[in-house]
Structure 1
Amino acid sequence: MVGKLSGHVGFEIRRRRLAQGIKLREVAHLVGISQGMLSKIENNQTNVSLDVLESICKALGMAISEVFGDYDRPRSTAQYVKADQGPEVIGRGTSQGHSYQLLFYEKGYEKVFEPFLITLNDASEVIPAFSHPGIEFLYIIQGKLTYRVGEDTYDLEPFDSLTFDSLVPHGPIHLEEVPVKLLSIFCTSSQN
């Protein structure tokens, strides 16, 4: 193996050649190199000069830039969080005993949404209203509660959802069956 970049170049050449159903010997003949040399390029056993790479790309009907297009692009942007292993964070209701578990975090970008798994345990607690910019989505997983948004109240139980403008004062006003577990997603605009 020669190197990561050479391996990527070889993989892209081979992928394009096979996708077009062109035999190794045909490309090698068009480029003016041996089948063995083309095989070594495709299998990351040798480096390829830019002049030969350009000839291979012409033979395959592709721009040289297509070979490098995905080279340094991350292969996956997924974030996996095992049950009960999301980082606990200080949330808007932490002082009232709420547990906030962050399920996704954006690295280096302006936050557009924040998903939390919130657990409420104390049925007797007095819970203040919250207000913050954006839209909020709630999905009840466990327990029962009465939730207020502005002047309206909603009796929520498992599998119910509620979406609202989170600038309007909102929050649980009565925990009927604890623990209450809910998914809360805060969405904000990515524009300033």
Structure 2
Amino acid sequence: MPDDHDVSVAVKALKIGTKVKELRMKHRYTLQDLANKTGLSKPFLSQIENNHVIPPVATLLKLARALNVGLGYFFQDETTTEKVSITRKHERIRVKRRPHHGKEDVSYIYESLETRKQDKHMEPFFVEFPPISVEEMNFTTHEGEEFLYVLEGKVEFRTVDRVEILEEGDSIYFDSSISHGFRCVGDKPAKAIAVIWTGP
């Protein structure tokens, strides 16, 4: 597992940017084509492809749909067609924000809990939310549904017109197409399991 302080190691190990670029070239899309399909800006896509930005899960979902792959594709080193897939703790790679992250960069730490199975409909993640202010929150939308179970700490869930505090043992299930964001409201990072259903 890469050093938590060396974010570039994690990004390079996953080769997310490289995979995005390879898929874009395979489909013969220009950066503008991909921008049109995802709603993401050309400069942001370029930063992702060059591994300068760590994309949040919602951004990866948009890229996966536009490039006709499952979200898990970005976390795979190898794939399996087996009906059972096991991911050992030491096989997970932590992806976290840079110390001076931009507004579109990831604002939490996440680990994919399943990295090999192809064509799956659910994407499970371990997520760690650092304490941040409301102003630092990133709000996202994507297709599908989302489930989050709080393991430790307190997590604030926000939409345009709703604010909920989730404590240890609480869970939430919602339609991911609504603009939503999470943040830790305690002194220590909050930890949760998130499962994203990306739809058929």
Greater fraction strand? 1
Q: Secondary structure at the match of 1:178?
A: coil
Deviations 1:115-173 (A, max 9, x none): 11111223347112111110000000111122113411111111100000001011125
Gaps (5+ residues) in structure 2? 1-80, 98-102
Q: Which has the larger radius of gyration?
A: 1
1:134 pairs with 2:139: no
Which residue of the other structure, out of 86, 97, 121, is the alignment partner of 1:79?
Answer: 86
Counterparts in 2 of 1:1-192, with a 5 A limit?
77-82=84-89, 85-89=91-95, 95-109=105-119, 111-124=120-133, 126-173=136-183, 175-190=185-200
Q: CA RMSD in A?
A: 2.8
Q: Taking every aligned residue pair, what percent have the same amino acid on both sides?
A: 28
Q: Distance in 1 between matches of 2:190 and 2:184?
A: 11
Gaps (5+ residues) in structure 1? 1-72
Instruction: Report the Cα offset of residue 107 of structure 1.
Output: 3.4
In structure 2, the CA distance between the partners of 1:150 and 1:134, relative to structure 1 (3 Å rule), is: farther
Q: Distance in 1 between matches of 2:183 and 2:161?
A: 12
**TM-score normalised by structure 1 residue count:** 0.51
Runs of 4+ with deviation above 4 angstroms: none
In structure 2, the CA distance between the partners of 1:94 and 1:102, relative to structure 1 (3 Å rule), is: farther
